[in-house]
Amino acid sequence: MINLKNDRFLRALFKQPVDVTPVWMMRQAGRYLPEYRASRTNAGDFMSLCMNPEFACEVTMQPLDRYPQLDAAILFSDILTIPDAMGQGLYFETGEGPRFKKVISTIADIEALPIPDPHKDLGYVMSAVSTICRELNGRVPLIGFSGSPWTLATYMVEGSSSKDFRKTKAMLYDNPQAMHLLLDKLAQSVTSYLNGQIIAGVHAVQIFDTWGGNLSAAAYQEFSLAYMRNIISGLVREHEGRKVPVIMFTKGSLWLEGIANAGADALGLDWTYDLGEARRRVGSQVALQGNMDPSVLYAKPEAIRSEVGRILASYGKGSGHVFNLGHGITPEVNPEHAGAFLRAVHELSAQYHE
């Protein structure tokens, strides 16, 4: 086991003292970086980038090499690797996002779905984790991740991204038995997939429930949160003598208390929350991650710095906060603005950790 040179990200997730607030960015390896675009061109396409461990390692390391302030790396992959391993045939249309060759529409379709073996069917991801860990050599922790069962189900039933989730919600209400069967298979798949990443070397995992916030309160509890709770209860929480924290991120969710009781160590928040209010509601139970509006990065560095200061002040003194954007960094952001953001977090947060 390699000792970490910088573990403040993990310490913050466990609400232990830190010198400055740790920071990383969702989608920090992405199209806003010219070096990433060059790697994607060399790989040929996005899926080739994801499925080649050397390329996945290369793009994972790029933001760390550019921004020394980053306190964590995140595995370069895609949330839809599990449905692809189930035989759905993931591909990407330029400008259109992810699509599947097969679409789930009947209970027979769901019954035919296999539960992927993380080491055989998703072995390229495990190889990428191992490769990245060797390259990091303890520099910072590596975050593994998966999509939530509900989020994965929406893509599998719709066949692509969706604005209204009409097919998925119709199945949920017309045939809840079928939807529960699909979500149960996905929960089993996510659990084994994340455990595979943990055994391969990641230091923390995040569950991305990108579309859970589009459900009603009752439907969220039954069709999203319940399955994430099942996943968390089945995860390896200690490996090679170290605890492995779990972050849950439901974009647009209003149900903080319910999420905080699901067993995760930290909650990711989008920018619609007041961070101080979230801390008052659930901060005694879990750490909080977030939550600057990614669009702030389009502003001038002085405005970015001001917003970072406001969010830090909202959280207040003490540990238990991992600074992040409220969602992924967007492709049009100037990389210099991202750098200004990261520098501001470390420079302005020291006063809160005296």
Tell me, yes or no, if 139 is annotated catalytic: no
Distance CA 20, CA 221 (A): 35
User: Is there a domain that residue 3 lies in?
Assistant: no
Query: Which neighbouring-strand residues pair with 248?
Result: 207, 267
Q: Which residue has the tokens 């989020």?
A: 151
- Structure confidence at residue 82 (pLDDT): 97
Tell me whether the omega of the peptide bond preceding residue 291 falls within 30 degrees of 0, making it cis: yes
In a domain, 1, yes or no: no
Q: How many domains does the chain have?
A: 1
CATH code of residue 340: 3.20.20.210
Catalytic residue of the set 31, 66, 139, 242: 31
Q: Cβ of 211: how many Cβ atoms within 10 Å?
A: 23
- Residue 95's pLDDT is what? 65
Q: What is the pLDDT along the chain (354 residues), one digit of tens a residue?
A: 678 999 999 999 999 999 999 999 999 999 999 999 999 999 988 889 999 999 999 999 999 999 999 999 999 999 999 999 999 998 887 666 788 999 999 999 999 999 999 999 999 999 999 999 999 999 999 999 999 999 999 999 998 777 889 999 999 999 999 999 999 999 999 999 999 999 999 999 999 999 898 999 999 999 999 999 999 999 999 999 999 999 999 998 788 999 999 999 999 999 999 999 999 999 999 999 999 999 999 999 999 999 999 999 999 999 999 999 999 999 999 999 999 999 999 999 999 998
Catalytic annotation present for 91? no
Q: Is 137 exposed, middle or buried (0-12, 13-18, 19+ CB in 10 A)?
A: exposed
Task: Report the pLDDT value the prediction gives residue 1, as an integer from 0 to 100.
Answer: 61
What's the confidence (pLDDT) of residue 211? 87
CA dist., res. 86 & res. 29, Å (int)? 26
Choosing from 78, 84, 121, 265, the catalytic residue is: 78
40 is catalytic: yes
Residue of 7, 8, 11, 27 marked catalytic: 27
Q: What residues are designated binding site for substrate?
A: 27-31, 78, 155, 210, 327
Could you tell me which of 335, 221, 327, 197 has the C-alpha nearest to residue 272? 327
Residue 311's alpha-carbon distances to 110, 207, 276, in angstroms, are 44, 23, 8
Q: Detail the residues annotated as belonging to a binding site.
A: 27-31, 78, 155, 210, 327
Residue 198's domain comprises: 8-353
- Cα Rg for the chain, rounded, in angstroms? 19
pLDDT at 37: 95
What pLDDT score does 93 carry?
72
> Is 8 annotated in the active site?
no
pTM of the model: 0.96
2 occurs within a structural domain = no
Q: What local confidence, expressed as pLDDT, does residue 160 receive? A: 79
Residue 31 is a catalytic residue? yes
